[in-house]
Amino acid sequence: MNRLKEVRFYYAIYKSFEFILVDNDDDKTTEWELFSSLKYDNDVQKAKEMNFRPLPIGDRYTVESYYLPITPSELDSAYSIENYCEYNGDVLKCAYSEERRTFSVELGENEELCRRYGIGDVYDRYIGSRGYECYNDLWIVVPEDEVLDVWEQRSPIKGFPFHGPEKVYVRKDGVWLR
């Protein structure tokens, strides 16, 4: 099970269930689709019950996946997410590796944070003295047990309904909530 959702997707609540929301640029008649796949731990059985259409398994879809054309007015809520954690008193973006049981914590281009967390030399090499803009923000990897609180920060998508909450904890006081 993926503990944190992927930030590259939009999400939507439809009939009280959460699905991935995708912009369908292949189809000229429908702009948006709900997507459900075993790969992303969505409730595929619920998608089948709601008459989602199956996607062919092949090069693009390697696991059981379903879609449903949708309009914004049919959704209960839609949002994008960023995953954040509190680490050593700092609020930072994060990602999680289930396999390694570690968090990747983003320090961005913040010189003070990079120096405090021991990667000042990396900051100097890629951002600082040369004045280069870093295209990949700087990250550190920390053990799971050092990060107690993790949450999704949800943001509305223009043209869609959004009914909070904006902050949803997925880990609180070191305990996973899902």
Is 3 within a domain?
Answer: no
Question: What's the pLDDT tens digit per position in 138-172?
Answer: 889 999 999 999 999 999 999 999 998 999 999 99
Q: For residue 121, give every residue at least 6 positions away whose Cβ sits within 8 Å of its Cβ, in sequence order, or none.
A: none
Same domain, 103 and 160: no
- Predicted local distance difference test score (pLDDT) of residue 59: 63
93 and 138, same domain (yes or no): yes
- The parent domain of residue 110 ranges over 82-146
**Claim to verify: residue 101 and residue 141 sit in the same structural domain:** yes
* Residue 109 belongs to a domain: yes
pLDDT of residue 93: 93
Tell me: do 38 and 99 sit in the same domain. Answer: no
In a domain, 169, yes or no: no
**pLDDT at site 26:** 59
Whether residue 17 sits in one domain with residue 62 = yes
Is residue 175 a part of any domain in this protein? no
pLDDT of residue 71: 92
Q: What DSSP string runs through 108-127?
A: ET-HHHHHHTT-HHHHHHHT
DSSP labels for 3-14?
A: SS--TTSEEEEE
State how many domains the chain has. Answer: 2
d(CA 137, CA 97): 18
The predicted structure's pLDDT at residue 130? 52
pLDDT of residue 104: 92
Q: 136 vs 12, which has greater pLDDT?
A: 12
Does residue 172 form part of some domain? no
* 86 in the same domain as 63: no
The reported pTM is 0.81
DSSP secondary structure code for residue 49 in this structure: H
pLDDT given at position 148: 94
Q: Higher pLDDT residue, 99 or 84? A: 84
Q: Are 55 and 73 in contact (CB under 8 A)?
A: no
Across the range 18-23, mean pLDDT stands at 89
How confident is residue 47, by pLDDT bands cut at 50, 70 and 90? confident
Please provide the average confidence, as pLDDT, over all residues in the chain: 84
Give domain status of residue 19, yes or no.
Answer: yes
Q: Are residues 56 and 94 in the same domain?
A: no
Structure tokens at 88: 């050593």
Query: Same domain for 86 and 75?
Result: no
Residue 178: per-residue pLDDT: 79
Q: What is the DSSP string of 22-48?
A: EE--S-SS--EEEEEEGGGT--HHHHH
Residues 103 and 62 in one domain: no
Residue 96 falls inside a structural domain: yes
The answer to whether position 133 is within a domain reads: yes
Judgement on whether residues 27 and 75 belong to the same structural domain of the protein: yes
Q: What is the pLDDT of residue 78?
A: 96
Quick check: 66 pLDDT over 90? no
Q: Model confidence at 25, in pLDDT bands (50, 70, 90)?
A: low
